[in-house]
Amino acid sequence: MTSRPALVWLRNDLRISDNPALHAAAKSGAPVIALYILEEVKGPRPMGAAWRWWLAGSLRALSDNLKARGVSLVLRRGDPRKIIAEIAREASIGAAYWNRRYVAAETKLDTEIEQHLLSEDCAVETFNASLLNEPWEIKSKGANGPIRVFTPYFRASEERGNPRAVTGDIRKLDAAKTPKSEKLDDWNLEPSKPDWATDMDASWTRGEDGAKQRLKDFLDDALKGYAEHRDRPDIDGTSRLSPYLAHGEISPHQITEALPTRGRDADKLRAELGWREFSYHLLHHYPGLARENFQRRFNAFPWRDDHKALKRWQRGLTGYPIVDAGMRQLWRTGWMHNRVRMVCASFLIKHLLLDWRLGEEWFWDTLVDADPANNAASWQWVAGSGADAAPYFRVFNPTLQGEKFDPDGSYVRNWIPEIATLANDYVHKPWTASPLELAAAGVTLGKTYPAPIVDHQEARERALSAFQTLKA
């Protein structure tokens, strides 16, 4: 007798290798249906545009990789509760497998679906695929609620170790009769007119194979010196694994397994993965983190309302080269160097006094690695409103940050061609160049490149006094 088919519901785990749900389905011996749903349902936050672009490439790659193992990826769009109920009924699914999600609106859906399937005599098994430690697994030794500070959190997670082994490879899957599928191209995930994704295309190889290649390149070329180089936007010194992690084209388990167990550089990357886990831990225990100030006193913060300033920040027209370079890199490639993210975020919040949620929304829409936990936790960290946040008085000086981390200006020259020929001494502060020097470089401040949108010193003092009002 042939067993009833197994359904594998793929979500933020768009990979074949180290995919515990897919692995379990394969091992069950049942014929497999692989399903991806473009969820259109009330609750979960809609995907950003850059995310959708990435998703298209990711699904294409996943579909090819599944096909090579004998299974067609089924694409459906709509309410996952209805779609799964329908497929379960029509295909007479015997068991459903998926990897767990950790954002409240999504876990709620998953629970509903699980309940429904169980009531229809369909087994459900769920797995941990995307976190070394699931949010409820790291607990403080005392009974003072969830850990709210990174260092003790990370120490506890290191002590716990890596709880899940990477699953073995899957060579062949037994295909079930494939339910009807939509066409990826009909979803319009990628832009056509205007096609704003050409630079993104040139910057990234989406999909699991791209992820593996990126990990290999990183280990070969950039791990040595990572602890320092990761802060340098003018050097390709970061891992650039974030979009692959966000879409689940690689797991932190695979990365950890590939890293040397000792050494400053590997430790640093483990700590970065730790921040990602800490963000999920926080979001799980404090679901409001995504929209509300973690520190309630920030609810009284006097944010300014300045649409024009927001627009100039978004377009990279603030007049501060390191900020503008970062914002343009984001717009063009869907990604921004981590050090520059902090500078740009600090600038929006502290120099422009705009609500961190406006920045969070922009990043959500434009980042290919937009991650619900990381994005919210990191913006609140910069704002000073988060758990274990940077103190409010920590205001980045965009000029000093530029000079320190992009010393010869090659990063800003690359993204801001209009100031590319300014001398090193002025490339991070064009407003200090003499008229002669500006003319020689073909720069007219306020015309070819903006004059600073705010004066650093005035803005800094304004921010400090604004934060001062919270204390009262």
Partner DNA sequence: TGAAATGTTGGGGCG
Partner DNA sequence: ACGCCCCAACATTTC
Catalytic positions are 272, 275, 303, 338, 356, 379
- Nearest 5 degrees, angle CA 147-CA 150-CA 151? 105
Kindly state the smallest distance separating residue 407's Cβ from DNA, in Å: 13
- Retrieve residue 465's tokens: 């006094």
| Residue 456: its H or E element | helix 456-471
Compare residues 352 and 395 and give the one whose CB is closer to DNA: 395
Distances (CA, A) of 460 to 257, 357, 463: 44, 20, 5
Kindly state the smallest distance separating residue 393's Cβ from DNA, in Å: 4
Kindly state the smallest distance separating residue 289's Cβ from DNA, in Å: 16
Compare residues 76 and 281 and give the one whose CB is closer to DNA: 281
User: In the block, which residue shows the tokens 């890199």?
Assistant: 329
DSSP assignment of 324-382: HHHHHHHHHHS---HHHHHHHHHIIIIIS---HHHHHHHHHHH-TT--HHHHHHHHHHH
What is the contact surface with DNA in residues (CB under 7 A)? 150, 231, 272, 275, 338-339, 342, 381, 390-391, 393-397, 400-401, 404, 456-457, 460, 464, 468
CB atoms within 10 A of CB 317: 17
Compare residues 104 and 390 and give the one whose CB is closer to DNA: 390
Compare residues 280 and 381 and give the one whose CB is closer to DNA: 381
CA gap 3, 18 in Å, rounded: 25
- Retrieve residue 222's tokens: 């950039």
- Rg of the chain over CA atoms, in angstroms? 24
Kindly state the smallest distance separating residue 137's Cβ from DNA, in Å: 21
CA gap 35, 9 in Å, rounded: 5
Kindly state the smallest distance separating residue 465's Cβ from DNA, in Å: 8
CB 360 within 8 A of CB 310: no
Kindly state the smallest distance separating residue 377's Cβ from DNA, in Å: 10
Q: What one-character DSSP code corresponds to residue 177?
A: P
Kindly state the smallest distance separating residue 395's Cβ from DNA, in Å: 6
Compare residues 124 and 377 and give the one whose CB is closer to DNA: 377
CA gap 274, 267 in Å, rounded: 10
Edge-to-edge, what's the strand order for the sheet holding 123-127?
73-78, 32-39, 6-10, 95-99, 123-127
Kindly state the smallest distance separating residue 264's Cβ from DNA, in Å: 12
Compare residues 264 and 394 and give the one whose CB is closer to DNA: 394
Q: Which residues pair with 74 in a beta bridge?
A: 35
| Secondary structure E strands in 86-213 | 95-99, 123-127
Kindly state the smallest distance separating residue 257's Cβ from DNA, in Å: 22
Residue 196: exposure state from Cβ atoms within 10 A (0-12, 13-18, ≥19): middle
Distances (CA, A) of 202 to 53, 198, 364, 430: 13, 6, 21, 30
User: In the block, which residue shows the tokens 């990897």?
Assistant: 99
Compare residues 47 and 271 and give the one whose CB is closer to DNA: 271
Distance of CA 414 to the CA centre of its chain: 24
CA gap 114, 122 in Å, rounded: 9
CB 20 within 8 A of CB 109: no
Compare residues 194 and 391 and give the one whose CB is closer to DNA: 391
Compare residues 72 and 399 and give the one whose CB is closer to DNA: 399
